[in-house]
């Protein structure tokens, strides 16, 4: 049954032609049996043309409507009384009303259908001694089928347009969801890129410094070289753990534990970060002011990464015997960060526009992180030498 239905939908003109042939056969039989005087050939020609209207009603509905109206006028002019072929008028009225075409055609179909019965009553009055009101009632009854055909067709057109609008809206929403998903993926990849930059830049920098120191004191102080190698091993494991966590996020359901190897760094781990930097040979003064309290995870991660990036830049650009200081200040409505060094610093352009080599993140990465939590950043050379990074991360008022 489904195959038959699909065939009918794929070949509408063929189906209409089949019914037109059947319709023509019955019309010609009616002409042969009922028309004994008058114009049998004219009746037959009109029947053939009305069958053509049925056959091509969906291929050219407006043209077939005009042909049907013209045939009706020919019948009136040649005095061809209504017969079976006139049923095609109902078919074409329904088709034009259901077709999503020009509105003038639909209106013409309605007017022609409603006028067909009164014109037929005037041109071929029924020989009946009944009163005038009865004839009017009979005319109205004959016009009802045309009105119903138009109403059904117009309802079908409206319903089809409604479903088409729903499909278009669903398609648009699907495209919007895909676009939002792409934006989310791009944002996540950018976040992971920033995380990888911070992890690699910091930990690899520590490992390089320790490796250089170990190579320098290998012969003169084996114990110091051993401690440096242990620091390299610990730092490498931490870097691998964080990179494994970040790369695990990119896995799409391979493992349930993907992305859960280690927790996100927070403010409490800044002290461990400072100790790690101190063990690498950098003098760092660390202090906390105010009353520490739990912070939103995004703020804690941002604070940790800013301090990490600032200390990494101090090691890379501060020069020999550089010292640094880290201050965390808890305000009622914010967390302040101040990272300074007294080294020779680096040119401002090293921090901006992706770094001098075009590959670094520098201040751009810091500003992106702080912008995500609605904070502010002030960074630049410090009077008297060195570099200063000051940030304010907004918090909800403490309760």
How does pLDDT run along the chain (399 residues), one tens digit per residue? 677 777 777 888 888 888 889 989 998 888 888 776 667 888 889 999 999 999 999 889 999 999 999 999 998 888 888 888 889 999 999 999 998 888 899 999 999 989 988 888 888 876 655 567 777 887 888 889 999 999 999 999 999 889 989 999 999 998 888 888 778 767 766 766 676 666 666 677 777 777 877 777 777 787 877 777 877 777 777 777 766 666 665 554 444 443 444 457 788 889 988 988 888 778 899 999 988 888 887 788 888 888 988 888 888 777 777 889 999 999 888 899 999 998 765 554 444 444 444 344 567 778 877 887 888 999 888 887 888 999 999 875 444
- Other Cβ atoms less than 10 A from the Cβ of 154: the count is 17
Q: What is the dihedral of CA 221, 222, 228, 233, to 10 degrees?
A: 180
Query: Residue 380's pLDDT is what?
Result: 85
Query: Residue 333's pLDDT is what?
Result: 85
Query: Residue 359's pLDDT is what?
Result: 40
**Cα–Cα distance between 241 and 257 in angstroms, integer?**
13
Query: Residue 397's pLDDT is what?
Result: 44
Element (H, E) at 341: strand 334-341
Query: Residue 252's pLDDT is what?
Result: 46
Terminal alpha carbon distance of the chain:
71
Beta bridge partners of 337: 328, 391
Contacts of 196 (CB under 8 A, 6+ apart): 243, 246
Query: Residue 259's pLDDT is what?
Result: 41
**Cα–Cα distance between 276 and 256 in angstroms, integer?**
32
**Cα–Cα distance between 45 and 355 in angstroms, integer?**
88
Q: How many residues does the chain have?
A: 399
In the chain, helix, strand, coil percent, each to 5? 65, 10, 25
Query: Residue 315's pLDDT is what?
Result: 80
Ordered alpha helix ranges (H), the chain? 2-10, 12-34, 40-55, 61-78, 87-98, 103-123, 132-217, 222-249, 269-279, 297-317, 362-372
C-alpha pair distances (Å), 181 with each of 153, 177, 210: 42, 6, 43
| Nearest C-alpha neighbor of 381 from the set 313, 330, 304, 320 | 313
Secondary structure of residue 195 in the 3-state scheme: helix
Contacts of 197 (CB under 8 A, 6+ apart): 360, 361, 365
Sort strands 334-341 and 376-381 into parallel, antiparallel or unpaired.
Answer: unpaired
């Amino acid at each position: 049954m489904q195959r038959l239905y699909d065939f009918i939908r794929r070949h509408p003109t063929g189906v209409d032609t089949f019914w037109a042939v059947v319709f023509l056969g019955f019309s010609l039989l009616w002409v042969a049996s009922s028309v004994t005087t008058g114009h049998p050939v004219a009746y037959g020609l009109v029947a053939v043309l009305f069958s053509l209207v049925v056959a091509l009603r969906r291929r050219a509905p407006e043209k077939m409507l005009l042909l049907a109206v013209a045939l009706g006028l020919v019948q009136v002019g040649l005095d061809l009384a209504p017969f079976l072929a006139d049923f095609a008028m109902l078919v074409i009225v329904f088709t034009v009303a259901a077709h999503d075409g020009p509105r003038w055609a639909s209106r013409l179909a309605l007017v022609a259908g409603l006028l067909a019965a009164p014109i037929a009553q005037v041109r071929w009055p029924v020989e009946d001694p009944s009163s005038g009101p009865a004839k009017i009632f009979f005319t109205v009854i004959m016009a009802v089928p045309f009105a119903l055909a138009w109403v059904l067709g117009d309802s079908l057109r409206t319903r089809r347009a409604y479903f088409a609008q729903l499909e278009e809206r669903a398609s648009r929403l699907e495209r919007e969801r895909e676009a939002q998903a792409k934006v989310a993926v791009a944002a996540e990849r950018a976040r992971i890129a920033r995380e990888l930059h911070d992890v690699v830049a910091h930990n690899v920098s520590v490992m390089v410094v320790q490796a250089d120191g170990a190579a320098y004191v290998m012969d003169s102080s084996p114990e110091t070289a051993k401690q440096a190698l242990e620091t390299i091993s610990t730092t490498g494991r931490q870097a691998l753990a964080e990179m494994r966590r970040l790369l695990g996020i990119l896995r799409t359901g391979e493992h349930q534990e993907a992305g859960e190897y280690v927790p996100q760094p927070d403010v409490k781990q800044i002290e461990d970060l400072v100790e790690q930097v101190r063990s690498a040979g950098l003098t760092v003064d660390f202090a906390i002011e105010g009353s520490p309290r739990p912070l939103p995870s995004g703020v804690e991660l941002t604070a940790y990464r800013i301090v990490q990036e600032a200390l990494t830049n101090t090691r890379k650009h501060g020069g020999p015997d550089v010292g640094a200081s880290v201050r965390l200040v808890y305000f009622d409505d914010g967390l302040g960060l101040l990272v300074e060094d007294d080294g020779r610093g680096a040119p401002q352009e090293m921090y901006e526009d992706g770094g001098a080599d075009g590959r670094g993140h520098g201040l751009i990465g810091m500003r992106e992180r702080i912008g995500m939590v609605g904070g502010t950043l002030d960074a630049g050379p410090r009077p008297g030498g060195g570099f200063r990074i000051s940030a304010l991360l907004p918090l909800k008022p403490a309760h």
